[in-house]
A and B are shown apart, each in its own frame.
Chain A
Amino acid sequence: MSGTPDLLALGDDALIAAQRLAEWVSRAPTLEEDVALANIALDQLGAARLLLTAAGERMAPPRTEDELAFLRDDHAFRNCLLVELPLGPARGDLDFGWTTAWLLLLSAAQLLRYTDLAASGDELAAAIGAKAVKESTYHLDHASQWVVRLGDGTPESHRRMQDALDAVWPYAHELTEGVRERWLALVEPVLEAATLTRPADRWTPSGGRLGQHTEHLSYLLAEMQSLHRAHPGASW
């Protein structure tokens, strides 16, 4: 992820994150939060489309965003493991505290990646980065607001927030490769304000950037790709 910007990896992160977040639609704790999460999911999808289109144009032979999104198998995806995890302790779970912890780690890293992209000499990549920076800034703010409220809330919400943070923290190593120190500078003050304990760095699962994924990605792709594979080229 260092040197030339890896548009495919960034695009896959955004695409898989969008699909995960979309699971919240119609199921969030309040109507207001439902719209907020759907907004963030659509921002992620918008960034994914731009990034995958740009990445596909540079491939030989060139590939479209739809080909990249719908016609690749799991081992060809370059997203980090964090984004493919279920948004709760087990597959099919939807845990709101878990989701806010996940979004905090993810959006802080995306903000840094997009900031670097915006400053790169690659004109197209820089334009995509500049647009996405504003969106990621808001995603980080939204996640931070909730992490602080839940972490510094009731004993029950604090315990669940800490459990969720502990569970997703190891996956942030792969997510933040090359930007770890800057990322910690964004995330640690939020954890402190939330009275949460920053988890120790121990287990560091990785492999997503190489196409070695958890089983969760296969289930996610099956749902995301089934329509396109059954009806190639279908449009609304």
Chain B
Amino acid sequence: MTETQFKNMKDLPSKHLLGTGTSLCAGCGGLEALHEIYDILGAKSVFVNAAGCMTLLAVYPFTPFRGSWLYTAMASAPAGAQGIRDALDILLTKGRIAAGEDLETVVLTGDGSAYGMGLSATSGAIERGLDFLYICYDNEGYGNTGQQSSGATPHGARTSTSRGSSGYPGHKKDLFSIWVAHRPTYVATVVGAEPLDLARKIEQAKKLRGPRLILALAPCPTGWDFDPSETAEIGKLAVRTGVWPLKEYRDGKVVHSKIPQRRLPVEDYLKRQGRFAHLFHPQRDEVLLQEIQTKIDIYWANVEG
């Protein structure tokens, strides 16, 4: 990572921009990340939202945002960003608005839209080189409708549409690589529980132009079944067990911003969450646990080379 104003935790903003008292669940890991992101991104932004949990941030007549907001639909938030960005550029070019009135165009969606329904619109926006920042809060399921499995649900997790003894039979889609395959300006994974790493990545993203993704793991007490007080702990464990690699893509290269020394076994992460309880009770599902661990080991073996 290049030079940063965020050298240690003391450098993080002490004033917070996003308002409180929203209708989101207690302990929402997505909101935790959004608070940290917004503090650095700033209010000179317009958030273009797709249907998901965060749609309920702005409920008439209240909004926690100091900047602007446009709700679109589940599939087309990047197209909304395209329309706003293009219109602002036209207005700036023609001198109808001053340069100081310009805004950062930000797409804000959950994984349901980012990994699934919105993927066509996203791919189009990247291929056109749209100057926008995409923030995905990834709670690994259709959280707002009660945690049904999505394209982001990890293998073996129990969801409200995969309640059997083996949980979700599919595998979490690799959205990071899907973005990277488009050769965008910037892609990074973050988690609210690692605020310094997050701050540096938002700082980077803010300096760049073009399509940029911030993919935030969003531990979800409601959907993942853990106590809201444990959100930060679960987020830290996701990094320390290697489940959620912190990395960024820039200039054609993927770099890991935090390689966990002495990775913890994945079950330290899994056993804290009710959605994986069936892997441990009534008896341990050694086969599935090993399968999950092996996949993580192979990932990191490739990274550490």
**Chains A and B form a bound pair:** no
Q: Which residues of A contact B (CB under 8 A)?
A: none
Q: Which residues of B contact A (CB under 8 A)?
A: none
